[in-house]
Amino acid sequence: MADWGLQAVIRPTQYADHDHHDLFGSIDIENEYDQALLFCSPHLFDQHHDPTVVFTDELDQLYKPFYQIPLPPAADDDSHQDIIIKQEQEIKNFCGSAPRTSQLAQKLKKRKNQQKKVVIEVTADGLSSDPWAWRKYGQKPIKGSIYPRSYYRCSTSKGCTAKRQVEQSCIDSNIYILTYTADHNHPQPTRRNSLAGINRSRFKATPKSSSSSDGDKTVTISKDSAFDSPTTLSVSSFDHEEVLQQPNIKQESEETFFYNKFDNQGHIMMPRVNDEEYMVFSDDFFEGLEDLGGYKMDSSYYDHARS
């Protein structure tokens, strides 16, 4: 089994708009598993905007190529085009030609044995909507965060390798960062069964909301009871199994990044991989996401992105 890269990051839209933080894109550094995901606030580039933002030169250099430069309102089409071309060239220069020699890029490399990961930011309510039973096996203080990270193993089925990390956001203590690693090797438990393994858990089970999926792979997950607004799913890497089905996906993924745009609400707009495929996640993956929080898949976002 090959190594995996960070696969997806999901966050409530209210925490992913232009006034807060955005996904800026992914950098394909050397291999699939070396892809780095960039979460960043646009205000990182305006040090005067928010004095609470910890800002370093390194972060500045790291994120700046991905910051979407606002187009001047009075500029004509040619000016717009020049800015876009210049911006895309800057991005390409950063992550397309020099990643192997860039110290910054090397610092983005992940541990080699990292497995595929799905990162979700949820509220406290969102923690309770996970249908799986988890058993805590460790807790560690994390550098740079005032909150420790807790480590959980799936206890629904013996031998299941699925793991979950729970970390409270140091930016907003109401937000919990969930990191899911590896797949469950068993069917999803019923709500009743899932409670069996967490009878001492602090979390309560909550009713699962209705969900539907039309099979179209999308980047937006619509309203969930745990959130007050739609949830944005942003994709940073590709499922390896799907990569095997698409020999040119490596090249495609690099191309994918360069065409990332934001819509008028600050959502990242993911491009098509080719005429037939848009996302490379399996249906099971999205079904699993829906099950995590009762999210409802919505294809309208992608339709909007294409228009």
Partner DNA sequence: CGAATTTGACCTGCGC
Partner DNA sequence: GCGCAGGTCAAATTCG
Rounded to a whole number, what is the distance in angstroms from the first to the last CA of the chain? 38
Count interface residues toward DNA (CB under 7 A): 31
Least distance to DNA, CB of residue 111, Å: 4
Note whether 111 binds DNA by CB under 7 A.
yes
55, 56, 60, 63 alpha-carbon torsion, rounded to 10°: -70
> Which part of the chain contacts DNA (CB under 7 A), choosing from 59-67, 72-80, 145-153, 213-221?
145-153
- Beta bridge partners, 10, equal 120, 233
Least separation in angstroms between CB 139 and DNA: 4
98-102 own/partner pairs: CB under 8 Å, 24+ apart: 99/27, 99/28, 99/29, 99/30, 100/30
CB closer to DNA, 166 vs 221: 166
By CB under 7 A, what part of segment 52-91 binds DNA? none
Complex with DNA: residue 92 or 110, whichever CB lies closer: 110
Piece of the chain touching DNA by CB under 7 A; list 141-149, 208-216, 255-263, 281-289? 141-149
Q: Is 137 in the site for DNA (CB under 7 A)?
A: yes
Binding DNA by CB under 7 A: which of 64, 163, 223, 304?
163
Taking CB under 7 A as the binding criterion, the range among 85-93, 111-119, 204-212, 219-227 that sits at the site for DNA is: 111-119
Q: What pairs with residue 27 in β-bridges? A: 36
Q: Is 157 exposed, middle or buried (0-12, 13-18, 19+ CB in 10 A)?
A: middle
- The pair phi, psi for residue 171, each rounded to 5°, is -85, -45
- Residues 177 and 142: beta-carbon distance below 8 Å: no
Give me the residues paired with residue 134 across strands.
154
Candidates 51-59, 82-90, 132-140, 262-270; binding stretch for DNA (CB under 7 A): 132-140
Please list every residue from 188 through 207 that binds DNA, using CB under 7 A. 197-201
Helix (H) and strand (E) counts for the chain? 9, 13
Question: x/- string (CB under 7 A) for DNA, residues 168-187?
Answer: -------------x------
In the complex with DNA, which residue's Cβ is closer, 162 or 279?
162
d(CA 57, CA 203) in angstroms, rounded, equals 40
Q: Which of 51, 70, 144, 207 binds DNA (CB under 7 A)?
A: 144
Kindly list the residues in this chain that would bind DNA in the complex (CB under 7 A).
103, 106-107, 109-113, 134-144, 149-151, 155, 163, 165, 181, 197-201
